[in-house]
Amino acid sequence: MAVIQSTESSNRLEGITADPKRIRALIEEKTTPADRSEAEIAGYRDVLNTIHQNHQQIPFTPNMILQLHRDLMKYAGKEGGRWKSAPNQILEILPDGTRHTRFEPVPPHQTADLMNELHAQYGRYIVSQQWDPLLLTAFYVLDFLCIHPFLDGNGRMARLLSVLVLYHHHYDVGRYISLERIVEQSKETYYDTLYRSSQGWHEGRHDPWPWTDYFLGVLLAAYQEFEDRFERISSVPGSKTQMILNAIDGVFGEFRISDVEAACPTVSRDMIRHVLFRLRNEQKIKAMGKGRGAKWQKLVEKMS
């Protein structure tokens, strides 16, 4: 569910949307992209899965970032795996339709050198242990976005790299809780703190702390949500029932018994059926068919 939510939220922040059922089918690789938006979503899915499954083997280098960007763009037919070849701007579209430049990133001819310098400095600070790794992660993401090294996909790459670097520092919450969803839910603050912390960046006079406070707040919110979910399962009497209810609460759209089984590996199918039938009788869910392949649909937001 975290993969689905992360893929949907991170792309929606960039105005890339698709039908929720299509998104789920794409994430589960049960279909192929039918248009440009779905191609962008499929690329994000692939890179996020690569990070979740292979983060220990992924070196944090500029060349690896180019490879991840290539994979992000591989279905969309866009320039991927290369630093930007033309100037780009971070624009704000005002209510009357006029465009305002919020930030002017570095020019193309400086991009490769600055990305190499960014990674060299990051590596030196990690070795020296002068700064806490969480602060260095926030600083890195801010500098990455100020460099804006690609013609397209910079915001999505920044969020993907955040998950990767957090993994490298043993903060694994992104596997279970979607950081991108939390960012989307607070997107006004996300854009505001980026703007405030990027002012004066070219001259080295910027203030990284508004962005850093926000970044750490997102991570803290993710861990608090993870803790809340864990406590709901482990501390409530009848925890297997609660585990099933929590799994259904986290479902995206329609679901099958097999989806609940995957989320509750210690619970028997008979127990899951019992809870489903009870919820159906309480008119909280409804059956969409019969037999082993039957789907279920939620009629209320929360099961308990």
CATH number of 255's domain: 1.10.10.10
**Which pLDDT does position 212 carry in this prediction?**
97
Q: For residues 61 and 171, state if they share a domain.
A: yes
**Which pLDDT does position 125 carry in this prediction?**
96
Among the candidates 176, 196, 231, a domain finishes at 231
**152 CB-near residues (< 8 Å, 6+ apart):** 73, 78, 79
Q: For residues 201 and 57, state if they share a domain.
A: yes
Q: For residues 287 and 186, state if they share a domain.
A: no
β-bridge mates for residue 298, sequence order: 285
**Which pLDDT does position 289 carry in this prediction?**
80
Residue 206: CA count within 13 A, CB half-sphere: 22
Number of domains in the chain: 2
The answer to whether residue 303 sits within a structural domain is: no
**Backbone phi and psi for residue 97, each to the nearest 5 degrees, phi listed first:** 95, -10
When pLDDT is averaged across residues 200-215 and rounded to a whole number, the result is: 96
* 5 pLDDT more than 80: yes
The answer to whether residue 195 sits within a structural domain is: yes
The answer to whether residue 91 sits within a structural domain is: yes
**252 CB-near residues (< 8 Å, 6+ apart):** 1, 4, 5, 20, 24
User: What number of other Cβ atoms are within 10 A of residue 261's Cβ?
Assistant: 15
Q: For residues 127 and 219, state if they share a domain.
A: yes
The answer to whether residue 114 sits within a structural domain is: yes
**Which pLDDT does position 294 carry in this prediction?**
84
Q: For residues 180 and 145, state if they share a domain.
A: yes
- Structural domain including 140 reads 2-231
The answer to whether residue 304 sits within a structural domain is: no
**Which pLDDT does position 193 carry in this prediction?**
96
For 196-204, which contacts have Cβ atoms below 8 Å and span 24 or more sequence positions? 197/142, 198/102, 198/103, 198/142, 198/145, 198/146, 201/103, 201/143, 201/146, 202/104, 202/106
Q: For residues 210 and 280, state if they share a domain.
A: no
Q: Per-residue pLDDT tens for 55-85? A: 999 999 999 999 999 999 999 988 899 999 9
How far apart, in Å, are the Cα atoms of 241 and each of 17, 233, 271, 282, 283? 35, 9, 8, 15, 17
The answer to whether residue 196 sits within a structural domain is: yes
Q: What CATH number should be reported for the domain holding residue 32? A: 1.10.3290.10
Among the candidates 208, 231, 254, a domain finishes at 231
The answer to whether residue 281 sits within a structural domain is: yes
d(CA 49, CA 228): 25
Q: For residues 80 and 116, state if they share a domain.
A: yes
Q: Per-residue pLDDT tens for 166-199? A: 999 999 999 999 999 999 999 999 999 999 999 9
Q: For residues 139 and 51, state if they share a domain.
A: yes
Rounded to two decimals, what is the model's pTM? 0.78
Q: For residues 226 and 242, state if they share a domain.
A: no
The tokens for 39 are 């191609």
Q: Name the residue among 153, 154, 219, 163 with its Cα closest to residue 186.
A: 219
Tell me if 254 sits within 8 A of 263, measured CB to CB: no
Q: What helix, strand, coil percent values describe the chain, rounded to 5?
A: 60, 5, 35
**Given pLDDT bands bounded at 50, 70 and 90, which one contains residue 220?**
very high
Q: For residues 187 and 104, state if they share a domain.
A: yes
The tokens for 52 are 């979740």
d(CA 139, CA 133): 10
pLDDT averaged over the chain? 90
d(CA 280, CA 141): 46
* 203 pLDDT more than 80: yes
The answer to whether residue 290 sits within a structural domain is: yes
Among the candidates 214, 231, 248, a domain finishes at 231
Q: For residues 139 and 285, state if they share a domain.
A: no
Q: For residues 85 and 178, state if they share a domain.
A: yes
